DNA sequence: TTACATTTGATATTATTTGTCAAGTCAATC
DNA sequence: GATTGACTTGACAAATAATATCAAATGTAA
């Protein structure tokens, strides 16, 4: 979810992967994987990205957390029931 | 969530921690932590517990997955927004 | 006090995540 | 069809986190 958003923002800004990777001080290969959803971003990088692309931290961190949750649940059954349970316990 | 349920079931069945731990072939100390919510159960143990206490796997695995999600989100902000996002992407 | 059930904390083991780098693919241009 | 540049992939190492094991601590009832 976040990877897709970042790729869009990067392309809108005509930046190369290696340019953005340099700003984040991470390896280009890793950023490629993050944008493609193979890896999670680091939380600090998400905050930096909000600054770089002038997006709200809330929006990007929400997407990031959603990715984390999806990863925690991948290959499991009863996802929806579990999510609803969690939502209810948070209320 | 699951730990609490298992403790209830164990006490209803007048079993000791070490008895249940023996059935699951895990250390008593570890089971204690699992029931108290300090640690997640192993998925295989959840399935075994459904058999031992004659509960539906679906119910217990749902509680277990909810615990996993809660752990993945602990200490983060924007939990509810993220969960709603995930729920929507699953639909 | 003793005996027993449970909890806690320290350490060791194992698994997962993350970083690094080289080689690979793919288009565009020459 | 060779070269260049952007991106992707996969293998391996390093760092981090999860799990197991065990001894000691706590709590409690007889």
Q: For residue A66, what pLDDT is reported? A: 98
The radius of gyration of chain A's CA atoms, rounded to the nearest angstrom, is 15
| Cα–Cα separations (whole angstroms), residue A76 to A50, A82, A85 | 31, 10, 15
State the burial class of residue A49 (Cβ atoms within 10 Å of its Cβ: 0-12, 13-18, 19+).
Answer: buried
| Nearest protein residue by Cα to C1' of nucleotide D10 | A29
Interface of B with A (CB under 8 A): 1, 58, 61-63, 65-66, 68-73, 76-87, 89-90
CA distance B33 to chain A (A): 21
- Contacts across the A-B interface (CB distance below 8 Å): 94
At a CB cut-off of 8 Å and minimum separation 6, what does B56 contact? B50
For A86, which of B66, B77, B81 is closest by C-beta distance?
A: B66
At B24, is the secondary structure helix, strand, or coil? helix
Task: Extract the tokens encoding B87.
Answer: 């729920």
At A57, is the secondary structure helix, strand, or coil? helix
pLDDT bracket for residue B77 (50, 70, 90): very high
The mean pLDDT value of chain B amounts to 97
The protein residues having a beta carbon less than 7 Å from any atom of strand D are A 16-18, 28-29, 32-33, 35-36, 38; B 26-27, 29-30, 39-40, 42, 71
State the burial class of residue A35 (Cβ atoms within 10 Å of its Cβ: 0-12, 13-18, 19+).
Answer: buried
pLDDT bracket for residue B21 (50, 70, 90): very high
Residue ranges of the alpha helices (H) in B1-78?
2-12, 17-24, 28-36, 43-52, 57-73
Q: A10-67: per-residue pLDDT in tens?
A: 999 999 999 999 999 999 999 999 999 999 999 999 999 999 999 999 999 999 999 9
> How large is the average pLDDT for residues B30-47?
97
H or E, element range at B84: helix B79-90
Q: For residue A3, what pLDDT is reported? A: 98
pLDDT bracket for residue B29 (50, 70, 90): very high
Q: Give nearest nucleotide to B29 (CA–C1').
A: C7
């Amino acid at each position: 979810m976040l990877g897709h958003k970042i790729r869009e923002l990067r392309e809108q800004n005509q930046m190369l992967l290696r340019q953005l990777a340099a700003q984040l001080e991470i390896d280009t290969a890793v950023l490629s994987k993050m944008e493609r959803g193979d890896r999670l971003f680091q939380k600090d990088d998400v905050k930096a990205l909000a600054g770089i692309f002038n997006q709200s931290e809330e929006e990007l961190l929400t997407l990031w957390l959603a990715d984390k949750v999806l990863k925690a649940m991948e290959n499991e059954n009863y996802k929806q029931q579990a999510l609803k349970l969690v939502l209810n316990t948070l209320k």
